Amino acid sequence: MRLSLSLLALLGTVAADSLFAFNSSTQVETRSLDELHQAALAEGGTVVLWHGGDLANGGDDLKKSFEARFPGVTLNVTIDLSKYHDGRVDQGLASNGFLPDSVILQTLQDYPRWDVDGALLRYKPAGFDAINPAYKDPFGAWYGVYVYSWSFIWSSAKLPNVTIAEFADFLKPELKDKLVLTYPHDDDAVLYAFDLALRAYGAGFLDQLIAQNPRWVRGTGTPSLIIQNSTFAEAATFTSDLGYAPVDGIGSTKPATGPFVSWAQTAAILKDAPHPEGAKLLHNYILSPEYQNTTGWQVREDLPLPQGFPYAPLDKVNNTNPVDFARWMEDRGRVERLRFWFEAKLGTAQGVSPLIDPLS
């Protein structure tokens, strides 16, 4: 059946009107942080954030700086693995149960489907236009707020004559029985790191790494804690990060040429958030120049790198691709196959949650 030109024109008009309504539903922030602060106080002065992480104190710095900056507003941060937080969001959405105001998670594949389901507030905080387009939904349903990455970390006290610059250095004889690594099948970002390494160096790299007799642990914060603890022999890892500020007795770098993981940790406000004004305040604060200047690599393209930052701008670093992690996470079939392949090689992840005892 053919449609008349007049009907096609009408449908085109309706489609254009629908698209306009679709775009116009996005809220664009024009208020200052001080004005948002007052709105959050009037709302009750509380923000509930579910944040991905594997150390119980992982949200302390954000909580401290936010509450100091905005007196009277309390930031309640719950840290847990993103793969558990996203299930709780799904449960809350399915049952009309409890939902947080904001989520900042590693499970980047969740945000588009939550948006399609109408679960996210389409909102553009101040600074949204400056966020790298690859890190955000064009309608403001979700957006990166800071960049995470893994580093090579080693104890110069335990390994006084060792320098690590590439993955091959982890195979040095003097590092046998000295490595501590996160189970790749327990954390997708670590799994991605191993995937990159094996694609670059071949499956034999894993066999050589296993021959080094590493200590396998749960949590990405765990290796750095063990390395800094003088009671443990383990002294080096590539599945953790300590930020860019120097730490006494600890060497830290990115690989010179080998691939390493980076991604934009992504945030969204739930459409039915109990405290939407508080959530808006939080997101505007995190994206503000004053906070972005503390995060290392930034999601905003209009800000200079922090003073003393040891690496080049991310778009000048050729051996990492922060956009690729989101694409990789969307291919859940590949992720699951990799997870089970590593589980067959290494056994199931052992130990209690690092949130309970990271050094167990």
* 270: β partners: 120
Distance CA 127, CA 121 (A): 17
Coil/strand/helix, residue 337: helix
Terminal C-alpha separation, the chain: 69
Place of tokens 């690496």: 311
Per residue in 239-262, pLDDT (tens digit) is: 999 988 889 999 999 999 999 999
Structure tokens at 258: 């080998």
Structure tokens at 203: 């499956």
pLDDT band of 360, cuts 50, 70, 90: confident
Per residue in 108-165, pLDDT (tens digit) is: 999 999 999 999 999 999 999 999 999 999 999 999 999 999 999 999 999 998 999 9
Higher pLDDT, residue 5 or 232: 232
Coil/strand/helix, residue 251: strand
Q: Which of 350, 343, 19 is nearest to 184 (CA)?
A: 343
Q: What pTM, to 2 d.p., does this model score? A: 0.91
Maximum Cα interatomic distance, the chain, rounded to a whole number of Å = 80
Category of 347 on φ-ψ map: left (φ > 0), alpha (ψ -120 to 50) or beta: left
Question: What average pLDDT does range 216-233 have in this prediction?
Answer: 96
Q: Where do the CATH 3.40.190.10 domains begin and end in the chain?
A: 27-148+263-314
Look up the CATH architecture of domain 151-260+323-346: 3-Layer(aba) Sandwich (3.40)
Which pLDDT value is given to residue 185?
97
Structure tokens at 194: 């191993």
DSSP per-residue letters across 67-116: HHHSTT-EEEEEEE-HHHHHHHHHHHHHHT----SEEEES-TTHHHHHHH
Q: Helices 188-201 and 204-211 meet at what angle, rounded to 10?
A: 110
Distance CA 165, CA 162 (A): 10
Distance CA 94, CA 226 (A): 40
Q: Which of 79, 54, 323, 295 is nearest to 192 (CA)?
A: 323
Place of tokens 């847990």: 80
Residue 76 has pLDDT above 50, yes or no: yes
Note the CATH number of domain 27-148+263-314.
Answer: 3.40.190.10
